């Protein structure tokens, strides 16, 4: 698994287009939000900025890159060749997704630390870490599911748009309007409960036990995504 991950990391840094979409673009967008944190905080809160940054990196740095990577490895028959080795299917997928997942976690750590340094830290670091890890798991799961519907790296530019733009739209909706109205709908949508958890973690004012209940919808999306991936994921290109 780790040999696959090392090879995939090298390929990631050699692919300039993928490097831009997975690292540079999310970093630039996150930097803009941090630089203009005063203006955006007047619209929502610092928790809102943290949530938008988290899902920008999660959607474009992690989710889109994961789908593109899996589609590319399927198209060039690399997935098929890996299945002839002693590595299990889970080990193959873990090796392919480990580099981009770790890069996303590092990005999130650096960016959220920068936001805390510039604008003030979160009220509850533990809740923030939990929200980040749950979001990473959800985006990886959704990436596996979407890869099953994606025929090529070029096709990934289309298949990833609904979820990428959708989670960011939900984040902005929840972050700016709160969950006093349409509470259940907002929490059940992908990214809604995770956004509320980040808001609680950064802004404070909500009991930890109450906030942890918000993990249920996010983890439910992980289960749904994995179930879809098991049904739809393909190891060879369609003929």
Span 52-63, pLDDT tens digits: 999 999 998 899
Confidence check: pLDDT of 237 > 90: no
Distances 22 to 10, 86, 139, 179 between C-alpha atoms, Å: 14, 30, 13, 31
What pTM does this model have? Answer: 0.92
Span 2-50, pLDDT tens digits: 788 888 888 777 777 777 777 788 888 888 888 777 776 677 788 899 9
Q: How many residues does the chain have?
A: 239
Considering only CA atoms, which of 89, 90, 91 is closest in space to residue 80? Answer: 89
Cα–Cα distance measured from residue 96 to residue 61, given in angstroms and rounded to the nearest whole number: 15
Q: Answer positive or negative: Cα dihedral of 158, 88, 98, 127.
A: positive
User: What pLDDT, on a 0 to 100 scale, did the predictor assign at position 101?
Assistant: 94
Number of other residues whose CB lies within 10 A of the CB of residue 35 = 12
Question: What is the full DSSP assignment across 49-118?
Answer: HHHHHHHHIIIIIIIHHHHHHHHHHHHTTHHHHHTTSSS-HHHHHHHHHHHHHHHHHHHHHHHHHHHHHH
- Look at 17 and 176; give whichever has higher pLDDT: 176
Confidence check: pLDDT of 189 > 70: yes
């Amino acid at each position: 698994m780790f040999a696959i991950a090392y090879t995939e990391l090298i390929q990631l840094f050699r692919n300039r287009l993928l490097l831009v979409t997975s690292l540079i673009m999310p970093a630039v967008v996150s930097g803009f939000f941090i630089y203009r944190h005063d203006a955006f905080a007047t619209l929502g809160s610092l928790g809102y900025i943290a949530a938008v940054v988290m899902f920008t990196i999660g959607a474009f740095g992690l989710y889109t890159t994961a789908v593109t990577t899996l589609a590319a490895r399927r198209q060039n028959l690399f997935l098929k060749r890996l299945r002839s080795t002693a590595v299990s299917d889970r080990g193959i997928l873990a090796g392919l997704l480990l580099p981009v997942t770790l890069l996303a976690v590092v990005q999130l750590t650096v960016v959220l630390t920068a936001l805390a340094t510039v604008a003030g830290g979160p009220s509850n670091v533990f809740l923030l870490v939990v929200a980040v890890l749950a979001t990473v798991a959800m985006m990886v799961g959704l990436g596996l599911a979407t890869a099953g519907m994606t025929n090529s790296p070029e096709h990934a530019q289309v298949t990833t748009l609904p979820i990428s733009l959708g989670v960011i739209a939900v984040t902005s909706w929840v972050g700016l309007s709160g969950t006093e109205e349409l509470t259940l709908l907002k929490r059940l949508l992908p990214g809604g409960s995770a956004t509320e958890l980040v808001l609680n973690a950064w802004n404070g004012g909500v009991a930890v036990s109450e906030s942890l209940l918000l993990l249920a919808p996010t983890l439910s999306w992980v289960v749904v995504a994995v179930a879809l991936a098991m049904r739809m994921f393909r190891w060879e290109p369609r003929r």
